[in-house]
Amino acid sequence: MAEMDEPVDRQVDIDPALLRGLTEPRLTRRQALRMGGAGVGALSVGALLSACGVSGTASKSSKATANGVGSAAWWKKQKQAGILDFANWPLYIDTSHGKHPSLEQFTKATGIKVNYFEVIQDNAPFYAQIAPTLRAGQSIGYDIVVMTSNSFQLDEMLHINNWAIPLDHSRLPNFAKYAGPLVKNPSYDPGNRYTAAWQSGFTGIAYNPELTGREITSVHDLWDPKFKGHVGMMSDNTEIGSVAMLALGIDPATSTQADWHKAAKLLKQQQADGLVRQYYDQSYIKALENGDTWITQAWSGDIYQANNSGYPHLKFVVPKEGVMIWTDNMLIPLHAKHPVDALEWMNFYYQPKIAAEVADWVDYVTPVPDAKPILLKQDPAVGKSPLVFPNAATNAKVHQYYTFKSYNDFQAWNNVFQPIIQA
């Protein structure tokens, strides 16, 4: 995977299949691993060990805030080490000939050597791997990990276990200056106390206008009886729960259990009426391309890539009721060995020039809107795309996911929405 050619040049006529291969979204890899028997076996063992290896150690676990980790005084004592261990998702950074130009520039500018690990395939299994180590009060060997805003595991890291080091914003001037409104002060991490966004994406609706026969503007179109048997819904239960709440005019971020039940009722109705073709993971994009689904819940980056790889007719819409935004966040796990180097990188990444390089390759929503003028010059196709640089109208419609307060809260959500997917 590492030996990839230059980032996709959209001016040149490349074989669509090759293009698709090159720009394959990280979620495809995420799914591939989840499906792969070997991978699952390995993960299950990790999960199992984490599950049975501990008994009631929560009280012992060191918490960041308890012993002053992350305070101004603590940060003052930390020194730059010249090394950064960075754990990220596969295919999620600019890559050229097996190297990552943005990281190389960072090393050149700061002298910090970066060890880049593409080890995160999904939030839950990754969390299962690192949790036992963190619980034992040891370093997991990474100074930055990237986790998603609509995952319970991020809530576990930030709020439930306090396993992230509060950031020293005095060392992140570029974040203050360049971070966009979408990623500043998010509901899952007020004041960006622990996190700085890596990339974001929207969960909206995609459709095939030839098959729907009309324009789609509303989340209610997912409930249109005309599309019976051809509506794609997602198998991630935070996604289906959230879209149903948008349909009911409820903001998922501030929803209550009563709202969840109302949303579940709407989803059950949709299923009972035979509207739902399937609850898809990443494969929803294939189903849309094949014409099995006419209208589907969709992730913005995927539709951008489908448009560039032989399916230009597919459309992504930000429904008028609102659109969900998910964000993959960089955070410094507790006991990280090189926290200052981690901050250095975060600050470096938030320069428009660097963010533009990564955005040009990754095609998701960059946290740095000022990267736009740069990309308009270097790669206008990406610079102009509303899926990489959303406009103000889109920004006004974004909704954050519900933040889980505890494991019981998470279980309550699962108990409401999981039976719909696993019918």
Partner 1 sequence: MRAVRVRLAPYLLSLPGWFWLGLFFLVPIIAVLSVSLQTGNPDTGYNLTWHFSEFGTVLSNYNGELVRSFLYGAISTLAAFVIAYPMAYWIAFHGGRHKSTYLFIILLPFFVSFVIRTLSWQFLLSDNGIVLGTLKNIGVLPQSTHVLSTPFAVIAGLTYNALPYMVLPLYVAIEKIDRRVVRAAGDLYASGAQAFARVILPLSSAGIFAGFLLVFVTNTGDYVNASILGGPGTTMVGNVIQNSYLSNQDYPTASALSSILMVLLLFVIWLYARVFGTEAVEEAVV
Count other Cβ atoms within 10 Å, centred on residue 109.
12
Nearer to partner 1, 92 or 294 (CB): 294
- Cβ neighbors of 67 (< 8 A, separation 6 or more) are none
Nearer to partner 1, 181 or 229 (CB): 229
**What distance in Å separates the CA atoms of residue 146 and residue 89, rounded to the nearest whole number?**
7
**What distance in Å separates the CA atoms of residue 113 and residue 45, rounded to the nearest whole number?**
32
Structure tokens at 185: 């002060």
Nearer to partner 1, 241 or 367 (CB): 241
Burial class (CB in 10 A: 0-12, 13-18, 19+), 218: middle
H or E, element range at 84: strand 83-88
316 closest CA partner among 333, 297, 329, 330: 297
Minimum distance, C-beta of residue 197 to partner 1, in the bound complex (Å): 23
Nearer to partner 1, 63 or 97 (CB): 63
DSSP 137: T
Interaction site with partner 1 (CB under 8 A): 32, 34-37, 40, 43-45, 47-52, 54-58, 122, 124-125, 127-128, 131, 135, 152, 156, 160-161, 229, 235-236, 271, 276-279, 281, 283, 286-287, 290-292, 406-408, 410-411, 414, 418, 421-423
- Cβ neighbors of 268 (< 8 A, separation 6 or more) are 420
Nearer to partner 1, 335 or 338 (CB): 335
Minimum distance, C-beta of residue 146 to partner 1, in the bound complex (Å): 18
Nearer to partner 1, 100 or 277 (CB): 277
DSSP 365: B
- CA torsion sign for 333, 92, 402, 44 is negative
Minimum distance, C-beta of residue 104 to partner 1, in the bound complex (Å): 33
Nearer to partner 1, 132 or 141 (CB): 132
Nearer to partner 1, 15 or 210 (CB): 210
Structure tokens at 347: 């600050």
- Cβ neighbors of 167 (< 8 A, separation 6 or more) are 70, 192, 193, 194, 195, 196, 332, 343, 346
Minimum distance, C-beta of residue 54 to partner 1, in the bound complex (Å): 4
Minimum distance, C-beta of residue 205 to partner 1, in the bound complex (Å): 19
Minimum distance, C-beta of residue 47 to partner 1, in the bound complex (Å): 6
Minimum distance, C-beta of residue 212 to partner 1, in the bound complex (Å): 14
Minimum distance, C-beta of residue 98 to partner 1, in the bound complex (Å): 24
Count other Cβ atoms within 10 Å, centred on residue 280.
23
